[in-house]
């Protein structure tokens, strides 16, 4: 059923790095929800595989001493949704990954696999961009960290260098503290479907909840890679909370997005739903933060 040349089982992160160096053409496999399907379709036929599935050291959600949320790359979507730290500080990420596939996929699919695929439609991608996530990679030279916006290079390609293994997704304390967000997935079906467009917004309000201190908005499928709409973010910063601001914020996203025509949706339709979903997600985020609209 599967045309596999060889399967190597990594015993640790260091062992996985060594295997990557020894077998540079080998494919990393974690949950296998993407890799095995691609092999069955013939796209990765005859490949060597390096399994990291048993590396519990990069599985789970924890908090570093400086308050950074650490999501191990082998953490499944189901685990993320149920994790107390996610529910307390960045519940929108749990809500976003809870829309990936069905229960079976969410039980085996991992956040590392979802990001390393480099696809713009990944349900985790827009929320991780909106929350200023940092990707941690471990390689021959040690640990390297980079903002997730720099990790995505082009459609389907991410910045993983020779011998490297993604080991964690980090959310800095500054990026989640007193922030509230909402994710909207637009798809043809309500379940088991790839996003036609994904929109993630979060806001931090002033102490009296009447002013937007900071806003973030990111999209999936609004360009070849997930992206932030920085013009909308800059427009909202320091502005009084209002429905009029929500409308201006939403219209401003058109300055940064560049969706394509595809069989799933026309470019103009994607722009329309990007504006509408940005408005709705902004309003929902403000209300979650205690603002009145």
Helix (H/G/I), strand (E/B), else coil: 197: strand
Q: Which domains does the chain have, with CATH numbers?
A: 4-51 (3.30.43.10), 56-171 (3.30.465.10), 182-288 (3.30.390.50)
pLDDT tens-digit map of 123-147: 999 999 999 999 999 999 999 999 9
Q: 212-220 and 227-228: which strand pairing? A: antiparallel
pLDDT tens-digit map of 270-292: 999 999 999 999 999 999 999 99
pLDDT confidence tier of residue 1, bands split at 50, 70 and 90: low
98 by Cβ neighbours in 10 Å (0-12 / 13-18 / 19+) ranks as middle
Name the DSSP class of 87: H
pLDDT tens-digit map of 147-177: 999 999 999 999 999 999 999 999 999 999 9
Q: 134-139 and 142-147: which strand pairing? A: antiparallel
Q: What is the mean pLDDT of residues 71-92?
A: 97
Q: Give CA–CA dist 244/192, Å, rounded.
A: 35
Structural contact between residues 57 and 73, judged by C-beta atoms closer than 8 angstroms: no
Q: For 49, list phi and psi in degrees, rounded to 5.
A: -120, 140
What H or E segment, with its residue span, contains residue 17? helix 13-22
Q: What is the mean pLDDT of residues 8-23?
A: 97
pLDDT confidence tier of residue 193, bands split at 50, 70 and 90: confident
pLDDT tens-digit map of 195-226: 999 999 999 999 999 999 999 999 999 999 99
List CB contacts of 197: < 8 A, sequence separation 6 or more: 185, 186, 219, 220, 221, 222, 259, 265, 270, 273, 274, 277
């Amino acid at each position: 059923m599967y045309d596999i040349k060889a399967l190597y089982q990594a015993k640790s992160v260091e062992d996985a790095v060594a295997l990557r160096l020894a077998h540079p053409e080998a494919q990393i496999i974690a949950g296998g929800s993407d890799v095995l399907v691609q092999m069955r379709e013939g796209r990765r036929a005859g490949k060597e595989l390096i399994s990291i599935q048993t590396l519990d050291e990069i599985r789970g959600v924890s908090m570093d001493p400086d308050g950074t949320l650490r999501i191990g790359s082998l953490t499944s979507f189901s685990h993320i949704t149920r994790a107390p730290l996610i529910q307390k500080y960045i519940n929108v990420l749990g809500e976003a990954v809870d829309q990936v596939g069905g229960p079976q996929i969410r039980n085996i699919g991992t956040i590392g696999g979802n990001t390393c695929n480099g696809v713009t439609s990944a349900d985790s991608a827009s929320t991780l961009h909106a929350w200023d996530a940092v990707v941690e990679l471990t390689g021959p030279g040690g640990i390297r960290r980079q903002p997730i916006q720099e990790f995505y290079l082009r459609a389907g390609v991410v910045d993983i260098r020779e011998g490297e293994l993604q080991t964690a997704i980090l959310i800095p304390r500054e990026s989640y503290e007193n922030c509230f967000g909402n994710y909207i997935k637009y798809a043809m079906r309500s379940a088991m479907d790839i996003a036609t467009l994904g929109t993630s917004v979060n806001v931090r309000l002033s102490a009296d909840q009447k002013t937007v201190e900071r806003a973030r908005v990111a999209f999936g499928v609004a360009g070849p890679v997930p992206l932030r709409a920085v013009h909308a973010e800059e427009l909202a910063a320091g502005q009084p909370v209002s429905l009029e601001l929500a409308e201006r914020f939403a219209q401003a996203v058109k300055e940064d997005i560049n969706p394509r025509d595809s069989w799933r949706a026309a470019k103009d339709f994607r722009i329309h739903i990007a504006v509408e979903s940005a408005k709705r997600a902004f309003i929902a985020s403000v209300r979650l933060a205690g603002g009145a609209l």
